[in-house]
Amino acid sequence: MYSYPILTKIFEEFLKEKEENLSNTFIIACQHILEPQQKMFRMLADFGVSKKNIFILGKSYSTNIEVLEELIADDFHIVQHQYNPAESFDETHQKNCRELVDRVLEYIRPDSRIIVLDDGGSLISECNNRFDHLSKDAQLFGVEQTSSGFRKLESRSLKFPVMNVARSAWKLEKEPAFIAQDCIEKIDRFTAKLPYRKAFVVGLGPIGGAIEKHLKNEGLDVYGFDVLLGHTDLVSKILEIKPSLIIGATGSQILTEHELEMMTTFNQNVYLVSVSSSDREFPVVGHRNGQNADDVHVSTTYKNITFVNNGFPVNFQGNRYEGEIEGIEPTIGQLLGSVLYCLTHEQALEGKIGFIELPLQLSI
């Protein structure tokens, strides 16, 4: 059993500052349903937020069923929608966020306080769209975890303060190494199957760059591509090199259906692997029906193309936790601390809107 020392320390520090009754506080969360997140939610309940007032929206591709059942048994307000293989995750998720906000509106009362704890920006975006409605009865605060969520929201005119976990030093400089290592371990399970030892990594940020380096060290012929480095003509390069393994690390769609069809002319199998989020890197949706469609983590094939893990990030495969807990705990600690900061330092956030840099006490 892991003791979660970082979460425990943060919890105990903020517990010293707790003064008021939290019965009228609501937490709306979109999170991966894994053991570290479960620990966080239990601590928020121990801090004084009613479990019935903690609404948790899971992501179909990153939910561990055992943890989900434990949260339900704990009486948290769980919203877990069934995986729909015929829709992109982003399309389904946006609808789920709207439904969750509708549900919360039925519960809030005058002078309620709502903290929106988000992974990916969609839930905060939905609350921002509905701000005039929500703010009639509630004071809103946000917490954003991911860089993709930050990019989604940074051009928006946010109407309430959002704690910017996504751009913390830990998230930008240290966490990517742990995520990359987890992805590498899972990619290594099938690289031995490659007909040709050629790989193509699209997106050379901290995660993609670490994977590129690892594959080169493993003796693969690796081509790295990133538009931020001035690289151009992605599809032409892929058609020229004919890699057996293409890794998407951009957080955006990198191939169209037409471009995928061009790759079916390769006289070899090609494995497509996402290491970002959602299923947006590759055009997998139209190829999932009829192939164990109810299994989120099955690999889908189309002619010579294999969408590994159904096009979802390879580091999420239904486990109780993914990778080393030590690598994810600091991020969960900053999420926990950000929520507790909103609960104990309202005056420091009064009058502020948009992204808020984390206070020094949450530096890890």
CATH number of the 5-171+319-362 domain: 3.40.50.1480
Question: Residue 292's pLDDT is what?
Answer: 59
The runs of H, that is alpha helices, within 111-169 are 122-129, 131-134, 147-153, 169
CB of 273 closer than 8 Å to CB of 187: yes
Tokens of 30: 């979109």
Residue 148: φ, ψ to 5°: -65, -40
Question: Residue 290's pLDDT is what?
Answer: 64
Question: Residue 294's pLDDT is what?
Answer: 67
**CB atoms < 10 A from the CB of 17, how many?**
11
Question: Residue 291's pLDDT is what?
Answer: 57
> How far is Cα 186 from Cα 351, in angstroms, rounded to an integer?
46
Question: Residue 137's pLDDT is what?
Answer: 83
Question: Residue 194's pLDDT is what?
Answer: 84
Q: Are strands 300-302 and 305-307 parallel, antiparallel or unpaired?
A: antiparallel
Q: What is the mean pLDDT of each run of 10 residues along the chain (364 residues)?
A: 96 92 95 98 97 96 96 94 88 94 91 96 97 90 96 94 97 93 90 86 95 93 96 96 96 96 95 95 88 78 95 96 94 98 93 95 88
Question: Residue 293's pLDDT is what?
Answer: 57
Q: Where are the domains of the chain?
A: 5-171+319-362, 174-311
Question: Residue 3's pLDDT is what?
Answer: 96
Nearest partner of 10 among 50, 46, 35, judged by Cα = 46
Question: Residue 72's pLDDT is what?
Answer: 97
Q: How many CA atoms lie within 13 A of 213 on its CB side?
A: 10
Residues paired with residue 202 on neighbouring β-strands, in sequence order: 225, 248
CATH number of the 174-311 domain: 3.40.50.720
